[in-house]
Amino acid sequence: MDLPDFDAFLPQEGYTLRVDDVEGIDLYEDAGEQESIGDDGESPPDFTAHLFRSNDFNVSYMESEPGGVLDWHTHSPHMYQLNMPVQGRVEITYLDEEGDEHVAEAGPEEMVYLPPGAHNKVKAIGDETLRLYVIYRQIVVPQVEEMVGVADQHPRTNPGLEIDTLRGIVHALQDDAVEPF
């Protein structure tokens, strides 16, 4: 089989990313009082990181002991998510357009799809550390609360690897966590 001339394509470079070495972010760094986050027995997650961002999708990671919570927030109308725990259990709650509450639990080998525009909350449950990957569409503003200026979660990101896949440009690369191969 003859392959096309790859010189006409974007640069072809793959990367490996070590999740444990990506610099995490404190989603609630700017929150007024962290004690007011969630309900009784709930607190911010122990670790969150934006692992990868491209023109098309993002991959984030959350690690938390039971009771850790990403408190209520509202996704923009074009943002849906796939939540995939690889360890522990997660409880995801959202309110539909009628205001009815829906709750799903998931563990390893399970995924939870969260619909676009969902007003939702993500909580570590059970008795072991939750390790959760979240894959979602790339959009300009992921939370409605950010657009109207009432977000209690920090809107900044610090991706381990950010690539403009349309132009083949690497915008961010955390050297301690990412290597080309």
Q: Where are the domains of the chain?
A: 24-176
Task: List the one residue out of 179, 180, 181, 175 whose CA is nearest residue 23.
Answer: 175
Confidence of residue 152 (pLDDT cuts 50, 70, 90): very low
Mean pLDDT value across residues 62-68 = 95
Percent of the chain with pLDDT over 70: 77
CB 86 within 8 A of CB 63: no
Tokens of 53: 């961002």
Q: Which CATH superfamily is domain 24-176 in?
A: Jelly Rolls (2.60.120.10)
CA–CA dist 136, 80 (Å, integer) = 6
pTM score of the predicted model: 0.80
* Least reliable range by pLDDT among 29-33, 106-110, 136-140: 29-33
Confidence of residue 141 (pLDDT cuts 50, 70, 90): low
Q: What is the pLDDT of residue 114?
A: 94
CB 5 within 8 A of CB 11: no
User: Model confidence over 77-132: pLDDT tens digits?
Assistant: 888 999 999 999 999 999 988 999 999 999 999 999 999 889 999 999 999 999 99
